[in-house]
Amino acid sequence: MDLGEFEVYRIDSYGYDETPKTIAPKSRNFIVFKPRNAIEVSKILKFANERKIPVFVRGGGTGLSAGAVPTLDGILISTERMKEIEIDVRNRLAICEAGVTLDELTKAAEKHGLSFPPKPGAENATVGGMIATNAGGVRAMKFGVIRNYVLGLEIVLPDGRIMKFGGKTIKNSAGYPLLQLFIGSEGTLGVITKAIIRLFPQLRDMSMLAIPFRNIEDAMEYSIETCRKLTPLGLEYMEKRAVEIGESVSGKRWVSKEGEAHILSIFEHKWEAEESAEIAYSCNAVDVFLASPKEQRDLLDIRSKIYLGIKNRIIEILDICVPPASILEYLRKSDEIARKYGIDVITYGHVGDGNLHQHPLIFEGWERVYWNFRREIMRLAVEMDGTISGEHGIGEIKRDELAELFPEQYSIMRKIKEIFDPNGILNPGKIFK
């Protein structure tokens, strides 16, 4: 067998993703294949498996845990040419190949009067990549993460076998749910080539509140009370510095200069926003601003541009997740740990589902203390019944903490990996050492 029928590329930009350069591993020598379908992926994997050549898989390159970085000499499969998409309107489904982007999926659904409600990643994130990391995003609280939308998968196993798991039905109790193993597996068990995705009716009456609070205690109390009585589409927290960064990059202006803690609340219906506004005032909000459609776009732009404005100043972006009612306690304790190590952290995140994005800022000599700080706050999150990654995945940069903090689960996962990939060719170094 040879791969002479394929075009081979050497493209340096495929050697990294969006993981901050301060902690991203260096890529090695690799060649890039761009297959068009599962059959071509199968040929590549058969070739590699017989020769025990490492194979890395890349979607849109938007990951933040170095999951797509080729850290050994080998092959990189890019799914960018796998673009077929079909909308099954009567069953309210999208059947799409792994290289379809979030933007393409959203537009295809809307063209048929349907929607893909979650916002699980950057617009150029791919279906395969989002499934491989079980992406979450802003709307996870009401609409769930990507796992809640995947009904079926076409997978190419490391030995080249093309297999299908699940199908077009929401209910499926036919034995072990093997489909679920591949969602969040970060390309370590098989290559996702096609997915069957649930769609929903279009959202029609979205309302948004921007709410400044004088302190984080009031902001978190508002969040807890709102979520006790309502189910927002999204509930985003931003500390003041994060808002200012988003303003500077987007060129837009936030609703108020007052307050140290800011919440962006998004609801499916206006009556929910009105009830939430009453809760905000009862929790000592500085003010409550109901956004017009244009203002909604501006506010979301501010929120979405924070990372762009800060990414060259940070060591990494953490995505610890704790129970929502424990956020305040977690932030207080993690701030104490940060002060102990002399680390300045800027925080924002999805407080409705407990997923926080903490950004430790670069400083001289950070390498001497950072890893101890990181380990301590991850342990803190686990002790509070949380986890070390809510949506970014383990990739190459959190595998030591996964092994240390979840030893029994880690051992079981390794055994599962060995069943599917006995030669260890798929995404070596990701999740496992």
305: confidence class by pLDDT, cuts 50, 70, 90: very high
Give mean pLDDT, residues 353-373.
97
Helix 216-229 to helix 270-282 angle (10° resolution) is 140
Q: What is the pLDDT of residue 8?
A: 74
Poorest-pLDDT segment among 11-15, 57-61, 82-86, 308-312? 11-15
Six-digit token pair at 298?
Answer: 């501006």
CATH of domain 12-80: 3.30.43.10
Q: What is the pLDDT of residue 6?
A: 76
CATH T-level topology, domain 313-412: Alpha-Beta Plaits (3.30.70)
Q: What percent of the chain has pLDDT over 70?
A: 99
CATH T-level topology, domain 85-201: 3.30.465
Are 197 and 105 in contact, with CB atoms under 8 Å apart?
yes
d(CA 327, CA 336): 14
CA 269 to chain centre: 26
12: confidence class by pLDDT, cuts 50, 70, 90: confident
Q: Is residue 180 classed exposed, middle or buried when 0-12, 13-18 and 19+ CB atoms within 10 A define those classes?
A: middle
Give mean pLDDT, residues 230-235.
96
Q: What is the pLDDT of residue 387?
A: 98
Do 313-412 and 12-80 have the same topology in CATH? Answer: no
Q: What is the mean pLDDT of the chain?
A: 96
CATH of domain 207-308: 3.30.70.2190
Tell me: pLDDT of 4 over 80.
no
Q: What is the pLDDT of residue 94?
A: 98
d(CA 72, CA 404): 24
Domain ranges of the chain: 12-80, 85-201, 207-308, 313-412
Q: What is the pLDDT of residue 187?
A: 97
Tell me: pLDDT of 97 over 70.
yes
Q: What is the pLDDT of residue 54?
A: 98
Cα angle 397, 403, 408 (rounded to 5 degrees) comes to 150
d(CA 211, CA 21): 34
Tell me: pLDDT of 1 over 70.
no
Note the pLDDT tens digit of each residue in 177-216: 999 999 999 999 999 999 999 999 998 889 999 999 999 9
Interstrand relation of 345-350 and 355-360 (parallel, antiparallel or unpaired): antiparallel
Structure-model confidence comparison of residues 274 and 1, the more confident one = 274
Note the pLDDT tens digit of each residue in 392-421: 999 999 999 999 999 999 999 999 999 999
Tell me: pLDDT of 153 over 70.
yes
pTM of full prediction above 0.85: yes
Give mean pLDDT, residues 220-231.
97
Are 428 and 190 in contact, with CB atoms under 8 Å apart?
no
Give mean pLDDT, residues 251-267.
97
Q: What is the pLDDT of residue 121?
A: 76
Q: What is the pLDDT of residue 61?
A: 95
CA atoms within 13 A on the CB side of 14: 22
270: confidence class by pLDDT, cuts 50, 70, 90: very high
120: confidence class by pLDDT, cuts 50, 70, 90: confident
